[in-house]
Amino acid sequence: LEKDVVVVIKSTVPVGTNALVKRRFDQELVGKKAYVVSNPEFLAQGQAVNDALYPKRIVIGYEEPEVRKVMEEVYLPFSRQIVFTDLISSELSKYVCNNMLALKISFMNEIASLSDCVGADIECIKEIMQMDPRIGTSFLNPGIGYGGSCFPKDTIALSRFAKNELDLDLDIVNAGIKRNKLQKTILYRKAKERFGTLKGKNIALIGLTFKAGTDDLREAPSLVIIDALIKDGARVVAYDPLLDLINKKNINREVVFIKDFEEIVSSNDIIFLINDGLGLKPEMFTDKIVFDGRNNFKLDQVDVLKEYHSIGRKSIIN
């Protein structure tokens, strides 16, 4: 190095990583200094550009006071609240935020299972919850579990760090991980209960990615559903316009992909809706048996369906 530098680490890294990097620079550099800053990104997949340009918060972890002025100048164009803190608190904050969101999803999915058992309507319960500003309105949608590159990785990473490094059991985080694993099989289990056996059944899956609006299959619930259905002897076909050939290679080879939406619906009586945000309407599935993993339809709209099974609501059989 020709002069002192500021090294900004934006990746989600295990607690203590920034301090480790700082010590390494201190050991290796002679006559120069590297100031290490923890500046985790908070970007939601599918809206990363908007989150980068209009961040809800900017977190900067540092040790040396000289760094604060530099980072203030870097973020001068962004008129958002900046939280200055220490390195460890900055690192941990990213994990805590993602774990909190994952736990909200898992909690709602657990209450959806309770609603199934007692005959309550989880969508009505959600609406009541959202009226309380202390609870908020986001991440309360029941479904088939979370996937993607962040929530599964960050919940497990935080749990393992606490246990392996501190001998601390994060019971609530662990319960959320367990619930999410179970939730990924909910549609399969509902279909199994409905038919008794799935052997020889033709089942069509609509939308396979972990989240609508992306082409990301990492930790997607659809992968678990597909494997369970095929293991049980079902014949599975799939439709997802966002998936390319590379992504399709990660899916069970026994799945047959159909390019045309109308074809896959017309040629199969049992439909699994994996994603929301696809612009689907009940009229598209007239006289079909639909297992809806994202509660895409209101119960008073599904009279055109032969059967409608959703998450945390009563089944409709017309």
pLDDT tens across 215-261, in order?
A: 899 999 999 999 999 999 999 999 998 887 767 888 988 999 999 99
How far is 53 from 79, CA to CA, in rounded Å?
10
Higher pLDDT: 1 or 180? It is 180
Cα–Cα nearest to 105, from 11, 175, 13: 175
Which residue among 97, 117, 124, 150 is the active-site one?
Answer: 150
Lookup result for tokens 């909200």: 104
Asked about 124 being catalytic, the answer comes back as no
Residue 273, beta-bridge partner list: 206, 292
Alpha helix stretches (DSSP H) within 186-273? 186-195, 221-231, 245-248, 261-266
* % of the chain exceeding 90 in pLDDT: 80
What is this structure's pTM? 0.91
How far is 303 from 58, CA to CA, in rounded Å?
48
Q: Which parts of the chain are beta strand (E)?
A: 5-9, 34-38, 58-61, 82-85, 202-206, 235-239, 256-257, 270-273, 289-292, 307-309, 316-317
* Residue 226 · residue 205 · CB < 8 Å: yes
Q: What is the pLDDT of the chain when averaged over all its residues?
A: 93
Residue 82, beta-bridge partner list: 58
Average pLDDT over residues 90-94: 96
- 3-state helix/strand/coil string of 120-143: CCHHHHHHHHHCCCCCCCCCCCCC
Q: Residue 98 — pLDDT band, cuts 50, 70, 90? A: very high
Output the six-digit token pair for 137.
């309105």
